[in-house]
Structure formats: C-alpha cells, structure tokens
Amino acid sequence: MSTKKQLRIALKNCGVIDPENIEEYIARDGYMAIANILTEMTPEDVIEELKKSGLRGRGGGGFPTGLKLEFARKNKGKKKYIICNADEGDPGAFMDRSILEGDPHSILEAMVICGYAVGAGNGYIYIRAEYPLAIERLKIAIKQAYKYGLLGKNILGSGFSFDIELKYGAGAFVCGEETALINSIEGNRGEPHFKPPYPAEKGLWDMPTTVNNVETLANVPAIFNMGAEKFASIGTKTSKGTKVFALAGNVNNVGLVEVPMGTTLREIVFDIGGGITGGKGFKAVQTGGPSGGCIPVQFLDVPIDYESLREIGSMMGSGGMIIMDEDTCMVDIAKYYLEFTTDESCGKCTACRIGNKRLFEMLEKITEGKGTEEDLVKLKELGEIIKDTSLCGLGQSAPNPVLSTMKYFYNEYEAHVRDKICPAGICSSLTKFEINKDKCIGCTLCAKACPAACISGKVREPHEIDQDKCIKCGACYKACKFDAITKS
C-alpha cells in the first residue's frame, strides 16, 4: 500500500459516525471543545488561539478566521450574529454538502464557539434548497443539540446562550457572496452591496455579523481539540492545515479528498485520483469554479496553497477541482463558465451584466467558427475591464476562466479562429461526423444509436449520415466497433 497522502481534519467524522445520532459525535469528543472553552477560556483567548492556528477561510477568500472574529467582537452592536455559509454555489463542488450530511454537529459546535468568541447569541445556517438531505440531517442535529442542552439557554451551565436557525437559499449563485447572503436572509433579492462596510461592522439587520464557510467551521472544534500549534504545524508557510477538494470530471477516483496544504496537484490527480479515465492524456485542472482558472500540465508540481494558485492564474476557491482530459475543448469550457456567470449575474452593475454577456457572445461566435482575430484582442481587453469595474466578487472574477485559458491554451483559440477547427472535436459547428464507406460493414449499430434518426443504410451495406439532421452528439462515433466513423 502506498503511503497515505490524505489527512483528515475537517472530514474526521465523515463516513465514520452516524450523523443522525448525537451520541456518536459525543463519543468521539464531540462538544468537548466548547465545553472546555466555556469552563476555561475567555472570548479573547478563543480568538487568540484561532489566530495562532493560522486558520483561513475555506469559502474562497482565505481571510484569517481569528481576525474576522476579532473585528466582530470589537464592533459594537445591540445584537450580533454568526452565519454559516452553506450555499455552496460552485457547480461540481460538494465538500460542504458532504460535511453537513456526514458531521452536522461539528458545524453546530463551531458556531457556538464563534458565538462565544464574538459575543453573539444567534446563528443562522444559510443552506441551498437543492440539498434536502443535508437540511434534514441539520434539522435532526439541531433538535438533538437542544435536547442535550448543547444549544439554547445556559449551555452546560455556563450562562452562555446560543440559538441556531436554518435559512434557505432559492437558487441564486450570487447569494453565496456574504453581503448578498445577508440580504437574502432578510427576505430580499440577493444583491450584493459595496464593501465596506463589511458584515463585521454592519451585517444582518445592520448588526455586527461574521459569515463563515462550512469547511472553515468544521476545522474549528478540531483546532481546540488538537491544539493550535499542532494545526499550525501542518501545511505551508502562509496556509495552515488541510483543504478538502471535490475531485470530479475525467478522473478515475472521483471523490472527496482532504490533503495538507502544500500537496501538489500531481499527487492529487494521479496518486489519489488514480489518473485520467480511459487512459487518456491530462489537459488541465480547473479550480475555483466560475471564479477560478484552468491550470495546465506544467504546473502539476506546484505545492498548492492560497498564494501559489493565485500566482498561476487560478485560485483556491471553495474546493471544486475538475480534471479535464485531452478531449476537452478549452474554449468550450470558458464559454460554459461564462454562460454560468452571465446567467447568475444579479444585474446590479453594468460591467458585469453587459460585459460578461458580451464575453459570452464572443466566445459563442468563436466556437461557431465565426470568430476573428480582433475578437481575441477584445476578449482580453474587455475581460480586464470587467475585473476592474465590477462591484462584487462574481463580476470581478467572472472573466478568469477566459483569461486563464487564453493564457495557457492560446493555440486552441487560434485554431478556432484562424483554421476554423476545434482541435478537441467538441464544438459542434466545427465538427462533422462522417462514415468511411470502405470501413463500414453495415452492422447498423450506429443507426440504432442515433437519437436523431439521421443515419440510413441497408444491413451489410455502407451507411450514411444526413448532415442536415445530425445533432453531432457523437453517439454513432461511440457505437461503431469498426472505426468506420470519423470525427473532424
């Protein structure tokens, strides 16, 4: 067996305990962190310990968690709030869902700890409605925690009280942004507002508020149980502890992995992920979701942390990691993300609303073989403008997928524009499926596979594709066992 590359802190109970039974969590030292804190530590001690641990936000920004709590503690307000951001909008990422489904009590415990540190008595978990199982398990966990006196009034006889309520998202990616999220909890359209003021000054109902990501919170009780020094001894100089990634796409071992900061992409993709499906070649890793970028093969050995990923044009993001094989068209991928961000833009600022739409249209033109060299120049210029002039993180980072693919895969853009070909054979306007009459033995498999019913031919005679009706789905190409169908 190979040496173990993964280290579990945030996921330590996931897949081990029964999440619907608080006794199993308690059996593994659950709620001991908050118990110790309430009996032995002042709120200032708690903040100091978190600062010492070096924990930074896992929701994308990487802001030091201890510092965030300190701001909220120092700002004055009649009430204060702790919010857990469980909106997990990055499509193809499922770290937070897995933690909530597998270890919901760790999030509740962490929120009580944060509440004590900040001096807040109320917490909200903002969770997307698309996660019914996570919602169900959270509800059960909250109920049990109240029953055992680990939530509610006078927790463990300490005099400290804390309540937690669930709030539901309704399918808007931008609501993952903290100021938009707060608007949404208040029952409004989830539009972001300009920062400052930060939530730590003026958040929910204008009171000091901290917004923390699920995975960030999952680390909190663990830090107090193992000690801040030990946590800080894991990882790189700037990034401590571990990071959970949702490994997906064209990789053999799709799944949830947790590795120490500083692990290389190669270790994740090949050692843990088991390499590319179907023995194909590796092309890129996408991190950071719609805000991130595509990382090409030459950076596979970079030890990953917040800073190194930014340097190579991507970002840590929340932990979605999509592996792409050689058959992936990078222009198509950029278009995919732009379609997503255009769709999800709240429309408040022009640069994001109109600018990203223009980017998308240009990419569409290019994938249809109608792009010009001028478009390539404009793509880049406009991308930079949008980055500089958008109000929130969504707009500011939306051009990243385009800019990073242009940086590393410019030849693919050129091929689409200059030679009107899609090297990966993905862009359907630029692809054509044809049957090679010499190789076709007339087995009819392709005709059966074709969803558009556009392949004709008699049994044992060469078949033919009606190009006008073909939807370029490639089903025939996959079906033919005689290599008689060509894709160009």
Partner 1 sequence: MKKLKNIEELKDFRDKCAEKFSGPDKIRIIVGMATCGIAAGAGEVFDSIAGEVMKLGLGDKVTVVRSGCMGACHAEPTVEISIPGEESVLYGNIDSQRAKVLVKNHIMRNEVVTELVLEKAYETIS
Partner 2 sequence: MCENKFAEEKFRELDGFIEKVGASEGNLIEILHKAQDLFGYLPKEVQLYVSRSLGISAAKVNGVVTFYSYFTEIPKGKHVISVCMGTACFVRGASDILVALEKKLGIKTGQTTKDGKFTIDSLRCVGACGLAPVVIADGKVHGRVEVDDLDNILVELESGVR
Q: 135 with 174: CB under 8 angstroms?
A: no
**Nearest distance, CB of residue 211 and ligand FMN, angstroms:** 5
Least separation, in Å, of the C-beta of 408 and partner 2?
17
Contact present, 379 and 272 (Cβ < 8 Å) = no
Per partner kind, with CB cut-offs from 5 to 8 A, the member of partner 2, ligand SF4, ligand FMN, none near residue 440 is ligand SF4
**In the bound complex, what is the minimum distance in angstroms from residue 221's beta carbon to partner 1?**
12
Nearest residue (CB) to ligand FMN, 144 versus 342: 342
Shortest approach of ligand SF4 to residue 462 CB, angstroms? Answer: 7
Where in 216-235 is the site for partner 1 (CB under 8 A)?
A: 222, 226, 230
With tokens 């107090």, the residue in question is: 224
485-487 vs 433-435, strand pairing mode: antiparallel
Partner in contact with 187, chosen from partner 1, ligand FMN, partner 2, none, beta carbon below 5 to 8 Å by kind: partner 2
Cα–Cα distance, 353 to 26 (Å, whole number):
48
Of all residues in the shown chain, the one whose CB is closest to ligand FES is: 92
Q: Residue 132 interacts with ligand FES (CB under 6 A)? A: no
Find, among 372, 376, 334, the residue nearest to 356 by Cα: 334
Between residues 49 and 177, which has the closer beta carbon with respect to ligand FMN? 177
DSSP 3-state of 245: strand
Spatial separation of the C-alpha atoms in residues 443 and 462, rounded to whole Å: 9
Most distant CA pair in the chain, distance: 85
- Which pair of structure tokens corresponds to residue 90? 């990055």
**Calpha distance 32→222 (Å, rounded):** 10
Single out the segment in contact with partner 2 by CB under 8 A; choices: 24-32, 148-156, 332-340, 373-381: 332-340
Binding site for ligand SF4 (CB under 6 A): 174, 192, 345-349, 352-353, 390-392, 394-395, 433, 435, 440-446, 449-450, 452, 454-455, 463, 465, 470-476, 479-480, 482, 484-485
Residue 170 burial (C-beta neighbours within 10 Å; 0-12, 13-18, 19+)? exposed
Our finding on whether 91 is near ligand FES (CB under 6 A) is: yes
- Find all residues with CB under 8 Å of 3, minimum gap 6, and list them: none
**Cα(121)–Cα(396) distance, rounded to whole angstroms?**
34
Q: Which stretch binds partner 1 (CB under 8 A): 142-150, 199-207, 410-418, 480-488?
A: 142-150
Select from 11, 17, 22, 174 the one that contacts ligand FMN (CB under 6 A).
174
The interface partner of residue 345, options being ligand FES, partner 1, ligand SF4, none and the CB cut-off 5 to 8 Å by kind, is ligand SF4
